[in-house]
Amino acid sequence: MTDSVSDKYAASEQGLGYIYQPRLALLRLLDLPEATAVLLEKDDDLDFVDKDGIKSLASLKHKAAGDRLTDLSIDFWKSIRIWLARYKRDGGSACNLRFFLLTTSKVSDTSFLRGFLPDWSSSGNEGKTLLEQAEEALNKSKAVSIQSIANEFNELTLTEKQDFLDRILILDSSPRIEDIPEIIKEKHLRVIRREHRNAVFERLEGWWNDEVIKQLTCSRDEEIFGFEVSDKLYAISEEYRSDNLPITFRGIKPEGEIDTEEDPRNFVVQLREIGVSSNRIRNAILDYYRAFEQRSEWARENLMLEGEIEDYEDRLVDEWSRYRDVVFEGLDETAAEEILQQAGKELYNWADMQSGNIESLRIRARVTEPYVTRGSFHILADGTPEPRVYWHPCFLDRLNMALEVSK
């Protein structure tokens, strides 16, 4: 197999460049003042606009490890062509544009491009201005693409050339795509407990990528502001406090069709036993799915304390049993099936519509999402060989009879 590092046709770095763009945009927006906004693929790879309306156009280059930026590197001169067009369009020296090249490459120690670095103090070519060195580099090349750029550059006046170059900054050795998550976690997530930082970053980047997609598909017309990122990061981090848990399955549905008539699971059979409507059974299946998946995710991310789920289920069963005793009081085996079903519905209606409002039945104080409580009752109603909660007063007897028959 061809080595991708040496294969001139390899497209891995180009592919990385596409996903590098939103990830680096997130890092930069976190680093900049909150009033800063960003647009992707507008005038350049990234357009940053500050509170005063100053626009910074950023060209991004994710290059192979060890790559160097030299006098005639096409990455630099292609960016120059883009910036020249924007500079001329917006009125030359009267425009409010700045230009940035963010590259994972390092500027060669012998290149005049060092003059565009933020910490540059000496050109390394005494006696020549940056403009003179740029023109000298352009004149050295015989490449058609470089000569075309030289022609466009030479359309500027001497004053405009100097002004244009003064607006350029190269940020070399920029973070590589795989390093950005750790940089964000170390710089911007330090107020979050270490064990939760991976989960918080993943959720933040997931939200961010959704916003980027909306912008690129024009379903979002406006820029993405730094304060939006701050607000979202705060909202996510609040879910990882000791009295809270993240809610990530709101609105999520299981794959495939929901079959309310033939679903064989215990909790669904129980609802059919008391005559609950198909629509309500469908909602119960959704609550079960969301609660089950949510609890599984909490466990995978080690967000639960030892024995916390068991304690929570014990509280639910205890409260259910108290309400059951009230609802079933006065019933006996001679009661008509209609009366038994009505009692079961009353008990289920309490679990479905009222239990979520009882603070003592929340898994943690600030977890108010209804599907957590509702779905947990369904998980308890689905237990085998015998469910811990039930709705029809005779369900356990009928279940035991069925089990005896099957033996």
| Rounded Cα distance, 79 and 145, in Å | 12
pLDDT, mean of each 10-residue run, the chain (407 residues): 45 74 97 97 97 97 94 95 97 97 96 92 67 93 91 96 97 96 96 93 97 95 96 96 95 94 96 97 98 96 94 97 95 89 97 93 96 98 94 87 59
pLDDT of amino acid 5: 45
Find out whether 276 and 348 touch, Cβ atoms under 8 Å.
yes
Find out whether 30 and 226 touch, Cβ atoms under 8 Å.
yes
pLDDT of amino acid 398: 80
| Rounded Cα distance, 174 and 24, in Å | 9
**Number of C-beta neighbours around residue 402 at 10 A:** 9
Query: In angstroms, what is the C-alpha Rg of the chain?
Result: 32
Domain ranges of the chain: 266-406
| Rounded Cα distance, 82 and 87, in Å | 9
Taken in order 321, 322, 325, 328, is the CA torsion positive or negative?
negative
**Number of C-beta neighbours around residue 187 at 10 A:** 11
pLDDT of amino acid 126: 57
Within 200-269, strands assigned E span 224-225
pLDDT of amino acid 1: 38
pLDDT of amino acid 404: 59
| Rounded Cα distance, 107 and 118, in Å | 12
Query: In terms of DSSP bridges, do strands 68-69 and 224-225 run parallel, antiparallel, or are they unpaired?
Result: unpaired
pLDDT of amino acid 209: 97
SS3 call for 106: strand
My answer on whether omega of the bond before 385 falls inside 30° of 0, hence cis, is yes
pTM above 0.75? yes
**Number of C-beta neighbours around residue 309 at 10 A:** 16
| Rounded Cα distance, 340 and 363, in Å | 31
* Residue at token pair 């029809």: 392
